[in-house]
Structure 1
Amino acid sequence: MISTVERRFWARETSTEWWDHIIMEVWDDEQWLQNFRMRKATFMELCEELAPTLRRKDTRLRAALPVEKRVAIAIWKLATPDSYRSVGNQFGVGKSTIGIVLMQVCRDINRILLRRTMTLGNVQDIVDGFAQMGFPNCGGAINGTHIPILAPPHLASEYINRKGYFSMILQALVDHCGHFIDINTGWPGKVHDAPIFRNTGLFWKMQAGTFSPDRKITVGDVEMPIVILGDPAYPLMPWLMKLYTGKLDRSKDWFNYRLSRCRMTVECAFG
């Protein structure tokens, strides 16, 4: 004899009052900036851009999450150190939903918006900005940072960085204001910055002279192209400057000071 058990669909009771009425109706731009790192108008514009791919249909079991709520969940998680459980409680959804929504929104931003919004910007403004900080004909500062991750199920040892935790490396080039103008991510934490850099599109574009305009200045009797600034981990190139090492005279020490001052923009951007 086979007995059957009648099953019922259920879900824990949650509240969306905080999102529906407090955030969407009460918060002003200052509160949006503090918590979402953007104003409400910018947020709504982002939702409009992503709506065609993020919108889902209602089912017989439950209503689909609105696009605005999906984007808000992802931005909140990216902008704060809150756990999945904490974010889920805030927005009235399960913690597994937080993980799914976060990946969907990040994927669509990367696929739809990244190449449209990540641009070199006004090169002359960038060069002028770095010149005011002390370094001439500079088009950006480059560095890498480690993003902590959970131990991957395969090749885990490749992701342990020199500080002893699992990470993935983000390499970024920023302008004089700390705005990101080129990014590359995905390399395991164990890999050194130099080989990562040599395998990026930025390296090959700089090598070919196609990343920035061909604007040279003369320093002494040497023609200097637009350069980027890196730390000692990066290779010295005609278009990549890094610090002098060893015994320094006054001019080299002054060069190092100016380079370090400008390169701090990328450190501050990561911070």
Structure 2
Amino acid sequence: MEPAQLTAAVVSIVNTLRIILEYMQNRPKRRQHEDDFDEDVDTDVPESTGCGNWEIVVAVGLVDTVERQFWARQTSTDWWDRIVLQVWDDAQWLQNFRMLRPLSWNTVSYFPLPKMRADLTVEKRVAIALWKLATPDCYRSVRNQFGVGKSTVGAAVIQVASAIIGVLLLRVVTLGNVQVIVDGFAAMGFLNCGGVIDGTHIPILAPDHLPNQYVNHKGYFSMVLQALVDHKGRFTNINVGWLGKVHDTCIFRNSGPFEQLQEGTYFPDQKITIVDVDMPIVILGDPAYPWLLWLMKPYTGSLDSSKEQFNYRLSKCRMVVECAFGCLKAHWRCLLTRSDLSTTNIPIVISACCVLRNICESKGKMFMAGWEVEANRWHLILSTQTPG
């Protein structure tokens, strides 16, 4: 290159850089557009962090300057409209939504949900919520599946879950016929038993506030679901939302049934006499719970044959609550993975899952072979992960 040409090239580069610097220094501060648009709308314009490539190209005149604009992401509802609604049979509905289609609508479609855009029917909102509860999918995946925005998915999940709790919780998660429960446990070998209590940890993402208080004894972030179940594993009382670090005994002492059980008003006044002792209707727990007149737990230490027999029968009944938690998480797989909901909304979703599990249990044939195997695989993955 001739000296004159080289000099001209250098001058051109310097002038170009000057233009870029002047542009970056004098341009107005860019608004954070994420807060100005609904999440249903996405941008295809590259975002700038300092000297972004898009702005440099425009500044030096290598492309025509055009008015900046945002494009809505192209979505499709064909899968929902043409496949799910028109093609799927009962088996496909049950496998994917964890409920049969008629049961789904009869259960929740009549709820007074808040109004949203006209093309988003109540049925579709319910289906979006059930899909999110029934799968370990993230919001983005559910959004793509149904052809809606991520914020729409989030709104549908909380609206439907809140409606389930408001309308059905006190009707479905209830003690019911105590004598039937007592007879059921008696058939399993334990007399005058009204339920089994235990807690389970629901994994969550690390919260912003007091994260250390959510780390449980297994080393991951969680919220606790404590439940009392009957002889069939049906939830009769739930206590949701405690931080993962809190001990089961503390949760139990602060739960609704504890005071009623202490006062003798939770169950009917129905006693049986065993070795000159009048025993009221009791509940069963694991060694973490205290010995109380109305709460039985296993003997520890050196055991004679009678204590071993007692522990065997108690353990046989306690398996009901362990199975109930396993089926709950296998049925509603959102409880298997670290929830991406806020700590305010996680208890709402957990409670709704308990309600739906009771409904499905009452209908029968709502739990498919292989679901528990899948759930156990997720538990294994979780156990190898570290907090956060």
Q: With the length of structure 2 as denominator, give the TM-score of the two structures.
A: 0.64
How far apart, in 2, do the equivalents of 1:190 and 1:64 lie?
Answer: 44
Code of the aligned partner of 2:294: W
- Which of 237, 244, 248 is the equivalent residue of 1:182? 237
Q: How does 1:25-40 map to 2 (within 5 A)?
A: 25-40=86-101
- Residue 116 of structure 1 deviates from its aligned partner by 2.2
8 Å Cα contact 2:108-2:164 kept in structure 1: no
Change in CA separation of 1:185 and 1:41 when aligned onto 2, cut-off 3 Å: same
- Residue 34 of structure 1 deviates from its aligned partner by 2.2
1:75 is matched with which residue?
Answer: 130
**Greater CA drift, 27-36 or 76-85:** 27-36
How far apart, in 2, do the equivalents of 1:37 and 1:213 lie?
Answer: 36
When Rg is computed on C-alpha atoms for both structures, the one with the higher figure is 2
2:216 is the counterpart of 1:161 = yes
How far apart, in 2, do the equivalents of 1:236 and 1:229 lie?
Answer: 10
8 Å Cα contact 1:19-1:91 kept in structure 2: yes
Deviations 1:47-66 (A, max 9, x none): 3331x2x14143xxxx4521
2:167 is matched with which residue?
Answer: 112
- Residue 108 of structure 1 deviates from its aligned partner by 2.1
How far apart, in 2, do the equivalents of 1:216 and 1:252 lie?
Answer: 22
- Which of 108, 115, 132 is the equivalent residue of 1:47? 108
How far apart, in 2, do the equivalents of 1:47 and 1:135 lie?
Answer: 37
2:266 is matched with which residue?
Answer: 211
Question: 1:49 aligns to what SS in structure 2?
Answer: coil
2:337 is the counterpart of 1:253 = no
Q: How does 1:224-243 map to 2 (within 5 A)?
A: 224-243=279-298
Code of the aligned partner of 2:77: T
- Which of 114, 122, 144 is the equivalent residue of 2:199? 144
Unaligned runs of 5+ in 2: 1-27, 29-65, 327-388
Unaligned runs of 5+ in 1: none
**Greater CA drift, 233-242 or 210-219:** 210-219
Change in CA separation of 1:204 and 1:64 when aligned onto 2, cut-off 3 Å: farther
- Higher percent of residues as strand: 1
8 Å Cα contact 2:97-2:130 kept in structure 1: yes
Code of the aligned partner of 2:281: I
Change in CA separation of 1:237 and 1:42 when aligned onto 2, cut-off 3 Å: same
Question: 2:76 aligns to what SS in structure 1?
Answer: coil
Question: 2:314 aligns to what SS in structure 1?
Answer: helix
How far apart, in 2, do the equivalents of 1:183 and 1:64 lie?
Answer: 36
Deviations 1:39-92 (A, max 9, x none): 222111123331x2x14143xxxx452111111111111122222222222211
8 Å Cα contact 2:126-2:160 kept in structure 1: yes
How far apart, in 2, do the equivalents of 1:136 and 1:22 lie?
Answer: 52
Question: 2:201 aligns to what SS in structure 1?
Answer: strand
How far apart, in 2, do the equivalents of 1:214 and 1:26 lie?
Answer: 54
2:200 is the counterpart of 1:122 = no
Number of residue pairs the alignment of both structures matches: 263
2:251 is matched with which residue?
Answer: 196
- Which of 9, 21, 27 is the equivalent residue of 2:82? 21
2:147 is the counterpart of 1:92 = yes
8 Å Cα contact 1:159-1:188 kept in structure 2: yes
How far apart, in 2, do the equivalents of 1:37 and 1:46 lie?
Answer: 13
Moved beyond 3 Å, runs of 4+: 5-10
2:299 is the counterpart of 1:244 = yes
RMSD: 2.0
Identity %: 67
How far apart, in 1, do the equivalents of 2:73 and 2:127 lie?
Answer: 21
How far apart, in 2, do the equivalents of 1:227 and 1:154 lie?
Answer: 38
Change in CA separation of 1:114 and 1:49 when aligned onto 2, cut-off 3 Å: farther
